Structure 1
Amino acid sequence: MGLYDFSLYDLIRRNAGCFRNRTAWLESDTGEAVTFEQFKTRVDRLAAGLQQAGIKTGDRIGVVGKNSLAFFQVVGAAAALGAIVLPVNWRLSEDEVAFNLSDGAPAMVFVDDEFAEMVQGIRSSLPSVRRMANLTDAGPFDGFAGLMVDTPFSGTDVAADAGLVIIHTAAVAGRPRGALVSHANLLCASLHLNHCFGLSDSDVHLNLLPLFHVAGLFMAVNAFHAGALNVNMSRFDAERAVSLIQSEKVSVLFDFSPILGAILDAQQKSGDDITSLRAVMGLDGPETIERYQRTTGGCFYNMYGQTETSCLTTMGRYDDRPGSAGRPIPMGLVALVDDADNPVATGQVGEITLKGPMVFKGYWHLEEDNAHTFRNGRHHTGDLGRFDEDGFLWYAGRKPEKELIKPGGENVYPAEVEKVILDHPAVERTMVFGVPDPRWKEGIKAVCVLKANMQLTEKELIDFVGGRIARFKKPQYVQFVESLPETDGRIDRAAVKALYGGENA
Structure 2
Amino acid sequence: MTSVEDQRTDVSPPEPDAGFDVTTLRGRRATRRWERTSIGDVFERLSWSYPNEVALTGDSGEPQFRSLTNCEADQLANQVAHALAAQGLQPSDRVMMFCDNSIEAFVTKIGVAKAGMVVAPMNVNLAPDVLKHLVQLSEPAAAVVDADLWPRVAAVIEEAGVPVVATILTGGGECVPESLPWSSWVGSQPITEPDVEIHGDDVWELLFTSGTTSMPKAVMITHHSTQVAALSMAVSLTRGLRHECDVRLTVFLPMIYHVGDQPFPFGALMAGGQVHLGRGMTAPRVASALHGHRSTALFVGSPQFAGDLVEELEAHPEFDVSSLTVVVYGWGAMDPSTIERFQAKAGEDLTFVGVFGQTESIVCHRFWPSKWPEVHRATAPMTNYVGVPSPMLASDVVDEQGRSVRGRPGEVVYRSAVMTPGYFRNAEATREAFRGGWFHSGDSVMVDDMGLRYLVDRYKDIVKSGGENVASMRVEAVIATHPAVQRAAVIGLPHPRWGEAVTAVVILRTGCEATEEEIITFARERLAGYETPKAVVFVDAVPETVGKVQKYRLRQDLKDLYEGGRS
> Same fold judged by TM-score > 0.5?
yes
Cα distance change, pair 386–466 in 1 and its aligned pair in 2 (3 A): closer
Q: Tell me if structure 2 keeps the 8 A contact 1:91–1:471.
A: no
Cα distance change, pair 139–46 in 1 and its aligned pair in 2 (3 A): same
- 1:239 partner amino acid: P
Paired position in structure 1 for 2:251: 207
Within 5 A, what are the aligned runs for 1:323-402? Answer: 324-345=385-406, 347-400=407-460
Deviation, structure 1 residue 96: 2.4
Within 5 A, what are the aligned runs for 1:38-437? Answer: 38-127=72-161, 129-136=162-169, 138-140=174-176, 141-148=179-186, 149-151=188-190, 152-171=192-211, 174-198=214-238, 200-211=244-255, 212-216=257-261, 218-257=263-302, 258-271=304-317, 272-283=319-330, 284-286=333-335, 287-296=337-346, 297=348, 298-310=350-362, 312-321=363-372, 322=376, 324-345=385-406, 347-400=407-460
Please give the per-residue CA displacement for 1:180-218, whole angstroms capped at 9, x wherever unaligned: 111111111111101223362111111211021112453
Aligned partner (choices 9, 31, 36) of residue 40 of structure 2 = 9
Distance in 2 (alpha carbons) for counterparts of 1:304 and 1:466: 22
- 2:43 partner amino acid: I
Distance in 2 (alpha carbons) for counterparts of 1:458 and 1:401: 18
Q: Tell me if structure 2 keeps the 8 A contact 1:64–1:110.
A: yes
Deviation, structure 1 residue 285: 2.7
Deviation, structure 1 residue 374: 0.4
Q: Tell me if structure 1 keeps the 8 A contact 2:409–2:445.
A: yes
Paired position in structure 2 for 1:450: none
Q: Tell me if structure 1 keeps the 8 A contact 2:85–2:115.
A: yes
Cα distance change, pair 413–112 in 1 and its aligned pair in 2 (3 A): farther
Deviation, structure 1 residue 393: 1.7
Please give the per-residue CA displacement for 1:36-71, whole angstroms capped at 9, x wherever unaligned: 011111111111111111222111111111100110
Distance in 2 (alpha carbons) for counterparts of 1:382 and 1:33: 40
Cα distance change, pair 402–135 in 1 and its aligned pair in 2 (3 A): farther
Instruction: Tell me the TM-score normalised to structure 2 length.
Output: 0.71
Deviation, structure 1 residue 484: 8.1
Q: Tell me if structure 2 keeps the 8 A contact 1:208–1:216.
A: no
RMSD: 3.6
Cα distance change, pair 466–46 in 1 and its aligned pair in 2 (3 A): closer
Query: Once structures 1 and 2 are overlaid, which stretch shifts more, 5-14 or 65-74?
Result: 5-14
- 1:210 partner amino acid: P
Distance in 2 (alpha carbons) for counterparts of 1:436 and 1:35: 45
Query: Once structures 1 and 2 are overlaid, which stretch shifts more, 279-288 or 226-235?
Result: 279-288
Deviation, structure 1 residue 10: 2.4
Q: Could you say which structure has the larger radius of gyration?
A: 2
Q: Tell me if structure 1 keeps the 8 A contact 2:59–2:102.
A: no
**Secondary structure at 1:326's aligned position in 2?**
strand
Distance in 2 (alpha carbons) for counterparts of 1:186 and 1:251: 22
**Secondary structure at 2:295's aligned position in 1?**
coil
Structure 2 segments unaligned to the other structure (5+ residues)? 1-28, 464-470, 481-486, 510-515, 517-535
Please give the per-residue CA displacement for 1:166-188, whole angstroms capped at 9, x wherever unaligned: 12113366421111111111111
Distance in 1 (alpha carbons) for counterparts of 2:113 and 2:213: 32
Paired position in structure 1 for 2:466: none
**Secondary structure at 1:239's aligned position in 2?**
helix
Please give the per-residue CA displacement for 1:363-414, whole angstroms capped at 9, x wherever unaligned: 1211101001001111000112123344322222232488898899x9x997
Query: Once structures 1 and 2 are overlaid, which stretch shifts more, 364-373 or 246-255?
Result: 246-255
Q: Tell me if structure 2 keeps the 8 A contact 1:165–1:181.
A: yes
Instruction: Tell me the TM-score normalised to structure 1 length.
Output: 0.80
**Secondary structure at 1:318's aligned position in 2?**
coil
Deviation, structure 1 residue 264: 0.8
Number of residue pairs matched by the alignment: 450
Query: Once structures 1 and 2 are overlaid, which stretch shifts more, 398-407 or 385-394?
Result: 398-407
Q: Tell me if structure 1 keeps the 8 A contact 2:55–2:273.
A: yes
Distance in 2 (alpha carbons) for counterparts of 1:372 and 1:434: 31
The runs of 4+ residues in structure 1 deviating greater than 6 Å are 401-408, 412-415, 429-439, 476-479
Within 5 A, what are the aligned runs for 1:478-489? Answer: 480-481=561-562
